[in-house]
A and B are shown apart, each in its own frame.
Chain A
Amino acid sequence: MPRVGGRWLAIAVGFLAVTASAATLVGADSLPATTVLKALATHLPLLHLHGLAPSDASIVWQIRLPRVVLAGLVGAMLALAGATYQGVFANPLADPYLLGAASGAELGATLAIAYAPAAWAVNAVPTCAFVGAGGAVAAAVLLGRSVGSGRSTTILILAGLAVAAFLTAIETYVQQQHQAVIRLIYSYVLGRLGTAGWAGVRLVLPYLAVSAVIILAHRRHLDVLSLGDVEAASLGVNVGRTRMLLVAAATLGTAAAVAMAGTIAFVGIVVPHTIRLLTGASYRTILPLSMIAGAGFLIACDLAARTLIAPGELPIGVITAFVGAPFFVVLLRRSNRMMT
C-alpha cells in the first residue's frame, strides 16, 4: 500500500540542497567560496572567525542568502499552488493564476506604481498586488457562484477568465495613461527577487506557512477529488467546501508570493507535472515533492538570472519559461514513449 517514495524524496531534497548551495556560493560578485563559507560560519554559535571584510559578510548575509530563501519560498509556494489547482479543477492546464490572481496582482502593482506617492511605493506595490490577487480570485468565485449553482469547476474557470480579462483591460488603460512607469511595471510582471531582503522573507513567510499547512493537510482529499465530484461525494467528501477551502489556501499563498516576487510564470505548471510524470498521480507524493522541487527550481532559475549576463540581470520569468519549457517537452516525449 502507498507511501511517499523515499527515493524521490531524497532526490528532491538533494536537488534543493545543491541548488541552494550553488546559489549561495556563486553570484555577480566573485567572492571565493572560502569567504562565503566563512561569512556563513560567523553566524554559528561558539565560532569566532576573524579576517572577514564587513562588505563580504554583508553580500552573503544581506543580499545572497535572503534572495535564495525568498526564491525557495516563492518557488515552493507556486509549485504547491499549481499542483493544488490542477487537483481541485481536475485540469492539467491549471496554474496558480487560473482564477485571475496574476491579473489582479499586476493591476494592483500597476495602480501602486502609477498613483502611489514615491515614498510609499516600496510598501504599496506588494500590498496592492496582494490585495489585487486575492480580490480577483474572490471576485471570480462570487461571479461563479452567482451563475447557476456555482459549484461547477467549468463555470468557476470561465468566471476567472472573465475577471482576468476585465482587470487586464483596466491595467492596460492605466499603463497607457502612465507610459513613463511602464518599465517599472514590466519589471514587476517579469519577476523580481533581489529587492525584498529579509524583510520580504518575514513578510511572506506566515502566509506561505498557513497556505502550505492547509494544503498539505488535504493531500488525501485531493486524491479523492481526482475521482470526480460524484464519486468523491459518494465517499463522504463535501466536494464544494473542500474545493473552496483549497482554492482559498492556494490563493492566499499565491497572493503573498506574487506580491513579493512578481508574477513568475511556468513554475506552477512545469514542476507539479514533472513530479507527476516521475512519481505517479497521488497528491500525497505530488504535493510535498512539488514544494521541494519548486524551491530548488526557482533558486536555480534565479541563479541563472543573476549570473548569466552579470553584472546585468535577466528577468527571472524569462528564465523559468526558457529553461522549463524545453525540459518539460523532453519529459513529456519520454513519458509518451514509455506509455506506448
Chain B
Amino acid sequence: MTGVEVRDLRMSYGAANVVNGISFGAARGSWLALVGPNGSGKTTALGAICGLLPYRGSIHVDGWSVQRLRARELARTVALVPQHPTLPAGMTVATYVLLGRTPHIAYFSHESSLDRDIAQRACHRLGVAHLLDRDVSSLSGGEQQLAVLARALAQQASLLLLDEPTSALDIGHQQHVLGLIDGLRKADGVTVIAALHDLTHAGQYADTVALLSGGELVAHGTPAHVLTTANIAAQYGASVTVTSSTDARVSVTMKRLVD
C-alpha cells in the first residue's frame, strides 16, 4: 500500500509501556490526525514513524519499512515538524530552509544550485521569500512556523509529520498555516500525519482521525465517526458540542461547566 501503514506498534520508556499495539493507516496524499489527551502517545508514535524512537511492530511508508531504511533515505521520505523547533539565533531564514536539503546532499558535499533553487521555491510557496536575510529567531510566531514548514517542504519527503503545528499561533495564523499545509498536500500528493490537540482542526482538515488514549487506539475513522460527544467525554472527560457541516467537516466546541 502507498502512504503509511502502522501495524501493532508497541513502544516503551524503560518498564513503562507508552504505546500498546496500535494499528492505523493513511493513504498517499491523505491527512490523518492523531488526537487524544495528554500522554496518550501521539508524539511518541510520531517519533517512531520518523525513525527517531525504537519500537516493535511494523511501520511502512510508501511500501518501505522504516526500520530498514538508512537514516538519510528515511529523511528523504519522512519530514518532521516538531512542536518546539529549534531556531538558531543569528541564522538567516535562507540558511535555515536550506538545511532541509541535508538528506539529499552527499556526506562531504555541499548544496548544489538545484538545492538552492528548491529551498528558494519552498520559501516562495510558504510566503517567506521576502524574509530570506532575516534572523530566523527574530521572526514572529507565524513567520517562524512558515519558515519551519518551508524547511520541511525543501526536504521533498512524501510524508509530512506535524506535532501540534499551530499550538503557538493565533486563530488567523492557525487558519493560514493549516490551509497552506492542506494546499501542499493536494498539490504535491504529500501524506500528512498531524498530532493535534485542537479537535476542530482535526475535524476540519483531516480525512481520517485516530483517537489514542493511554497508548491504545480507541477509535479510527472519519472525523464524524471518531469525534463524537461520547468519545470525547470518555477519553478527555470533557463536555463538548459537536456540529457537522454538509461537507462532513466537524467542529468541536467546549461547554462551560456549571457548578
Query: Which residues of chain A have a CB within 8 Å of any CB of chain B?
Result: 1-2, 217, 220, 223-224, 226-228, 230-231, 233-238, 276, 280-282, 284, 339
The answer to whether A236 and B74 have CB atoms under 8 Å apart is yes
- Shortest Cβ distance from B136 into A: residue: A281
Besides A227-B85, A282-B91, A284-B95, 17 other CB < 8 A contacts?
Answer: A1-B119, A1-B132, A220-B102, A220-B111, A226-B88, A231-B80, A231-B85, A234-B52, A235-B103, A236-B70, A236-B72, A236-B76, A236-B102, A236-B103, A238-B71, A280-B135, A282-B95
**Does B86 count as interface, using CB distance less than 8 angstroms?**
yes
Give the residue of A231, A237, A281 whose beta carbon is less than 8 angstroms from that of B89. Answer: A281
> Complex formed: what's the CA distance from A238 to B103 in Å?
11
The CA-CA distance from A2 to B155 in the complex, in Å, is: 17
Tell me the complex Cα distance, A223–B120, Å. 18
Across the interface, A2 reaches (CB within 8 A) one of B50, B70, B82, B95, namely: B95
**Could you pull out 11 A-B pairs where Cβ atoms are within 8 angstroms?**
A2-B92, A2-B98, A224-B99, A227-B86, A230-B82, A231-B82, A234-B50, A235-B103, A236-B103, A281-B90, A282-B95
CB distance from B216 to the nearest CB of A (A): 25
Interface SS of B by simple majority:
mixed
- Kindly list chain A residues whose C-beta atoms are within 8 Å of the C-beta of B82: 230-231, 234
Residue B116 CB within 8 A of the other chain: yes
A290 to chain B, nearest CB (A): 14
The answer on a CB contact under 8 Å between B92 and A223 is: no
Q: Are A237 and B71 in contact (CB under 8 A)?
A: yes
Q: Are A235 and B102 in contact, with the CB atoms below 8 A?
A: yes
Q: How far is the CA of A335 from the CA of B59 in the complex (A)?
A: 48
Residues 174-204 of B, flagged 1 when their CB comes within 8 A of A and 0 if not, give: 0000000000000000000000000000000
Closest residue on chain A to residue B135 by CB atoms: A280
Report B's interface with A, CB cutoff 8 A. Answer: 50, 52, 70-76, 78-80, 82, 85-86, 88-92, 94-95, 98-100, 102-103, 105, 108, 110-111, 116, 119-120, 132, 135, 138, 155
Report whether B71 and A1 are in contact in the complex, using a CB–CB cutoff of 8 Å.
no
Of the candidates A1, A231, A233, the one whose C-beta lies within 8 Å of that of B98 is A1
Q: Which residues of B contact A233 (CB under 8 A)?
A: 52, 71
**In the complex, what residues of B have CB within 8 A of residue A230's CB?**
52, 80, 82
Tell me which residues across on chain A come within 8 A of B110, comparing CB atoms: 220
Q: How far is the CA of A231 from the CA of B132 in the complex (A)?
A: 21
Give the CA-CA distance A120 to B98 in the complex, in Å.
54
Query: In the bound complex, what is the Cα–Cα distance between A226 and B73 (angstroms)?
Result: 21
Residue of A nearest to B123 (CB): A1
In the complex, what residue of chain A is closest to B91 when comparing beta carbons?
A281
Distance to closest chain A CB from B128 (angstroms) = 13
Which of A223, A280, A339 contacts B99 (CB under 8 A)? A223
